[in-house]
Amino acid sequence: MGPLSGVRVIDLTRYMAGPYGSMLLGHLGAEVIKVEQPGTGDPMRQASLYFQDGLSGHFASGNVSKKSLTLDLRHPRGKEIFLALAARADIVLENFRPGVLARLGLDYERLQAVNPRIILGSVSGFGQSGPWRDLPSFDLVAQAVGGGMSLTGEPGRPPVKMGIPIGDLAAGVFAAVGVLGALHRRERTGQGEFVDVSMMDVQLSLLNYLAHYYWASGKVPEPEGAGHPNIVPYQIFPTPTGYLAVAVYGDHFWPGFCRALELPELIEDARFATNDLRCQHKEALLPVLEQRIASRPREAWMARLAEEGIPAGPVHHVDEALASAQARERQMVVEAKGPSGSPMKLLGSPMKFKNAGEEITPPPTLGQHTDEILRGLLGYEEAAIETLRREGVV
């Protein structure tokens, strides 16, 4: 029983940002009912080069532990069914462009009319206000306009997006946090809420200390590659068996780092005694470190750095990260039965609870739970469900 057991989420989200947020709520134990257009469903069902047991890899990445209900929200009876679901739900999550729910007649005011306690979470590219409100956006655009892309990559090279879709995924995380905050407040006040999350706002928030560096110095931050603007050494180093990330974040790590590298003379070198001095003299220091670390396999350095308590880790490829002993121990790769009954690998939940369990179920096939929801939750008879199906409502 997860911490959100008993909470019902109606999930109107598509693509990646919104589905990731609602999936996190499912990881926490909420019942997540994904509402999809009959016949086509979430566009991510088709948007992938790779499929697992007939399910798109894109779709699988954001839709585990959900139920799928097909419902045409443009049909009057589809609206009627959706409002009946909303009356029995705690949270509705959507990521249409601003104004779409209003045109459907399903905006926050309409939902409140059937359920004053409802929490509506909305994820959009630029939010419900501002001059860019009506513009479309995807992950690439969010990374670009939020400033983060200008900081990613090597100095002097064109900007690059992050390898993971941080514009989408971070917006989903903030949407989940926002609706959970509203849910907690509702327990005290009984009042519903409308939570407005903008992908651009989230990326601006993630600028974090770099925004404050700019305000304090007036200097626009630039790409640092894998390095850091004011910490040395805090970067990756090549070794004969792959790259090694080392983070000497604080002067108390410096002597142990030098001992691990068997370069005790650096401890006594006045040029490198503090982080500020190491930053000033990094052109002299880094070649020495690079040459030394390149002389042995990264596994040897990992063992020695661990003995000295120095933060370090191998730069894993995706296959190495997923196969690591740490990922296995933490159950970050799990297996469930796919649609055909064959084993299907899924990512586990990053949230672990001592007193709450979790069962991750595979992503649903399109409309897999339509009859179950209509019959069990809304009380429809079989004949009525067949009529809805003939009319294309479900």
- Provide the annotated active-site residues: 168
Are 373 and 347 within 8 A, CB to CB? no
Are 202 and 146 within 8 A, CB to CB? yes
- The full DSSP string for 53-73 is TTEEHHHHHH-TT-EEEE--T
Residue 18, C-beta contacts closer than 8 angstroms, at least 6 positions apart: 11, 12, 93, 94, 95, 123, 171, 172, 175
Query: Nearest CA to 90 among 32, 190, 7?
Result: 7
Go through the chain and tell me how many residues it has. 394
What is the H or E stretch that residue 288 is in? Answer: helix 282-293
Are 254 and 248 within 8 A, CB to CB? yes
DSSP 8-state code for residue 330: T
Query: Nearest CA to 386 among 369, 371, 365, 368?
Result: 371
Token reading at 56: 């798109």
Residue position matching structure tokens 């109606």: 10
Are 125 and 168 within 8 A, CB to CB? no
CA distance 378 to 88: 9
Token reading at 281: 């003299």
DSSP 8-state code for residue 361: -
